[in-house]
Amino acid sequence: MAGGSTLNSFQIAQQQLDKAAAALGLDPQVTAVLREPTRTFVLNFPVRMDDGSIRVFRGYRVQYNDARGPTKGGLRFHQDETLDDVKALAAWMTWKCAVVDIPLGGGKGGIVVDPATLSEREKERVCRGWVDQMWKNIGPRMDVPAPDVGTTPQMMGWMMDEYCKRVGEYTPGVITGKLVGGGGSLGRTAATGFGVVVTIREALKVLKIDSKKSTVAIQGFGNVAQYAAQLFVELLGGKVLCVSCWDRGDKKAYTFSKDSGVDGKFLQSITDQYGTIDKAKAKAAGYVIEDADAWLSKPATILIPAALGNSITADNVSKIQDTVKIIAEGANGPTVPEAEAILLKKGITFVPDFLCNAGGVTCSYFEQVQNDMNFYWTEDEVNKRLDDKMSAAFRAVHEMAQTKKVDMRIAAYMVAVERVAWAMHMRGWI
Cα 224 to Cα 360: distance, rounded to the nearest angstrom = 9
Residue 306 binds ligand NAD, judged by CB under 6 A: yes
User: Is 108 a catalytic site residue?
Assistant: yes
Among 109, 187, 220, 352, the residue binding ligand NAD under the rule CB under 6 A is 220
State which of positions 235-294 bind ligand NAD (CB under 6 A): 244-246, 253, 275-276, 292
Contact 192, 202 (CB under 8 A): no
Contact 96, 68 (CB under 8 A): no
Counting beta carbons within 10 angstroms of the beta carbon of residue 230, is it exposed (0 to 12), middle (13 to 18) or buried (19 or more)? Answer: buried
Among 211, 223, 297, 310, the residue binding ligand NAD under the rule CB under 6 A is 223
Rg (CA), the chain: 21
**Cβ closest to ligand NAD, residue 50 vs residue 250:** 250
State which of positions 178-197 bind ligand NAD (CB under 6 A): 192
* Closest distance of CB 399 from ligand NAD, Å: 24
* Closest distance of CB 162 from ligand NAD, Å: 24
Residue number, nearest CB to ligand NAD: 222
* Closest distance of CB 332 from ligand NAD, Å: 4
State which of positions 325-384 bind ligand NAD (CB under 6 A): 330-332, 357, 360
List Cα–Cα distances, 122 to 44, 103, 145, 205, 405, in angstroms: 16, 35, 20, 50, 53
**Cβ closest to ligand NAD, residue 222 vs residue 238:** 222
Q: What distance lies between CA 89 and its chain's CA centroid?
A: 10
Contact 255, 292 (CB under 8 A): yes
**Cβ closest to ligand NAD, residue 304 vs residue 401:** 304
Residue 172 binds ligand NAD, judged by CB under 6 A: no
Q: 57: closest CA among 67, 68, 66, 47?
A: 47
Catalytic residue among 72, 87, 96, 108: 108
**Cβ closest to ligand NAD, residue 114 vs residue 210:** 114
* Closest distance of CB 22 from ligand NAD, Å: 27
**Single-letter amino acid, residue 202:** E
**Cβ closest to ligand NAD, residue 26 vs residue 225:** 225
Q: Please, which residues have CB within 8 angstroms of residue 39's CB and are 6 or more apart in sequence?
A: 62, 63, 137
**Cβ closest to ligand NAD, residue 171 vs residue 223:** 223
Cα 253 to Cα 279: distance, rounded to the nearest angstrom = 11
* Binding interface with ligand NAD (CB under 6 A): 192, 219-225, 244-246, 253, 275-276, 292, 306-308, 330-332, 357, 360
Catalytic positions, please?
Answer: 108
